[in-house]
Amino acid sequence: MSSIDLAAQYRSEFPIFEKLTYINSCSQGALSKSVKAAFTTYLSTLEEQGSAWNDWVTQQELVRGLMAKFLNAKPEEIALTTSASAGVNSLATALNFSGKRNKIVTTDNEFPTMGQIWHAQESRGAKIVHVKNNPDLTVDTQALINAIDEETLLVAITHVCYRNGARTDINPIIEAAHKMGALVVLDTYQTVGAINLDVTEIKADFIVGGLLKYMIAVPGVGFLYARENTTMDLIPTSTGWFAARDLFAMEIHSYDPAKEARRFETGTPNVPPLYPASAALEFMLKVGIKNVETYVAEIHDEIRAGIADIGGVVVTPAGRNQHGALLAVASTDEHAHVSALEALGIVTSCRDGNIRISPHFYNNREDVAKVVAGFAKTKDYLRK
């Protein structure tokens, strides 16, 4: 490989590779030793202090600051949530669908969170428009732009599709939405930790995601970025005491939400996963997201070539700017195929008739060879 050999530097931190060929980061990142050790730190707060609220709140703010650094955002623009769904739901309660602007434009590449939450707002007056994909599974950018008009309140788009790895050309969509006076929420769950995200370059008003996939943390911590200069007037009606302007005022006779993005939070945070979240963020900042992006792109090329050599079909678009970190291989029986690969010690996942392969910085050429050999041994499942 011409890029920095990240696996040579960091693979030993991930014990799973002593037993398995793990190439399923689009579902869950591999567990590192430092992330595992962070759980012990949390447990020690219980053993030594009991109710360690100062430590827990401090930990939450540490994660907020690290997440802001990762996105090149301000800490006050980051809300920490239990999931991406929690962030989108909170945002939904801040929107008013009773006026002329009541349309949400979205795509057919969305995760259920995006589709279901916005359709749930139909009872409040929202009108949902889904834009059909191109034949190559990418979002039809021009059709989506054409769907944005004076009635559009929000454009809700995913950066990378969880089913097939297709990447959306987001910048022209965001620009078109803003020209029409609409807001944009970008789902980056299949992007964050795999592709560089810089909020000074990506002008979305809201960005949601979570830390359990390419961010190599654990379930239970998501984030909602709210751009300070375009979202300040949006106040959610879903709330809780951790969303209050003064956390410890304990006010029950009025609603006084925080001015910063923290207003999109709710009650007591999910404290245990905050500790591995901070360890994971520190790890990812050390590795460097641009290094990850370059390194994994080369692994993709090798896997794609290997699958083609054995007669398989990668349905994920091939252009470097047209896909994310996962590759989708066409299968005749996706669930049986995953099980067959698992029997060979290769961990993948499936969606929509495809096997998902999602390498990360800890995967190496030996993994590539094992994956291609595994598909060769299970080629009866390959869909032409």
Nearest to 16 by CA among 374, 376, 362, 322: 362
Looking at the structure, tell me whether residues 74 and 26 fall in a common domain: no
Looking at the structure, tell me whether residues 115 and 145 fall in a common domain: yes
Tokens 């078109």 correspond to what residue? Answer: 176
Looking at the structure, tell me whether residues 275 and 297 fall in a common domain: no
Looking at the structure, tell me whether residues 56 and 13 fall in a common domain: no
Looking at the structure, tell me whether residues 125 and 61 fall in a common domain: yes
pLDDT on residue 244:
92
The stretches in the chain having pLDDT less than 70 are 1-2
168 in any annotated domain:
yes
179 in any annotated domain:
yes
pLDDT on residue 250:
86
145 in any annotated domain:
yes
Looking at the structure, tell me whether residues 341 and 198 fall in a common domain: no
Q: Examine the fold and report which residue of 284, 311, 346 is the final residue of a domain before the chain moves on.
A: 284
pLDDT on residue 1:
47
pLDDT on residue 2:
57
Looking at the structure, tell me whether residues 79 and 18 fall in a common domain: no
Q: Are 310 and 375 in contact (CB under 8 A)?
A: yes
pLDDT on residue 90:
97
Q: Are 379 and 311 in contact (CB under 8 A)?
A: yes
Q: Examine the fold and report which residue of 284, 319, 348 is the final residue of a domain before the chain moves on.
A: 284
Write out the residue range of the structural domain in which residue 368 sits: 6-31+288-381
Tens-digit pLDDT profile for residues 226-282: 999 999 999 999 999 999 998 888 889 999 999 999 999 999 999 999 999 999 999
- DSSP collapsed to 3 states, the chain: CCCCCHHHHHHHHCHHHHCCEECECCCCCCCCHHHHHHHHHHHHHHHHHCCCHHHHHHHHHHHHHHHHHHHCCCHHHEEEECCHHHHHHHHHHCCCCCCCCCEEEEECCCCHHHHHHHHHHHHHCCEEEEECECCCCCECHHHHHHHCCCCEEEEEEECECCCCCEECCHHHHHHHHHHCCCEEEEECCCCCCCCCCCCCCCCCCEEEEECCCCCCCCCCCEEEEECHHHHCCCCCCCCCHHHECCCCCCCCCCCCECCCHHHHCCCCCCCCCHHHHHHHHHHHHHHCHHHHHHHHHHHHHHHHHHHHHCCCCECCCCCCCCECCCEEEEECCHHHHHHHHHHCCEECEEECCEEEEECCCCCCHHHHHHHHHHHHHCHHHECC
Task: Please state the domain count of the chain.
Answer: 2
What order do you get walking across the sheet with 183-187 strand by strand?
A: 78-81, 222-226, 206-210, 183-187, 152-158, 103-107, 127-131
The Cα–Cα gap between 163 and 154 comes to 23
Q: Examine the fold and report which residue of 222, 257, 284 is the final residue of a domain before the chain moves on.
A: 284
Say which CATH number the domain at 337 has. 3.90.1150.10
Looking at the structure, tell me whether residues 367 and 261 fall in a common domain: no
Looking at the structure, tell me whether residues 321 and 376 fall in a common domain: yes
348 in any annotated domain:
yes
Say which CATH number the domain at 114 has. 3.40.640.10
**CB contact set of 372 (below 8 Å; sequence gap of 6+):** 303, 306, 307, 309, 310
Looking at the structure, tell me whether residues 11 and 43 fall in a common domain: no
Tens-digit pLDDT profile for residues 39-73: 999 999 999 999 999 999 999 999 999 999 999 99
372 in any annotated domain:
yes
Looking at the structure, tell me whether residues 196 and 271 fall in a common domain: yes
pLDDT on residue 323:
95
Looking at the structure, tell me whether residues 144 and 170 fall in a common domain: yes
1 in any annotated domain:
no
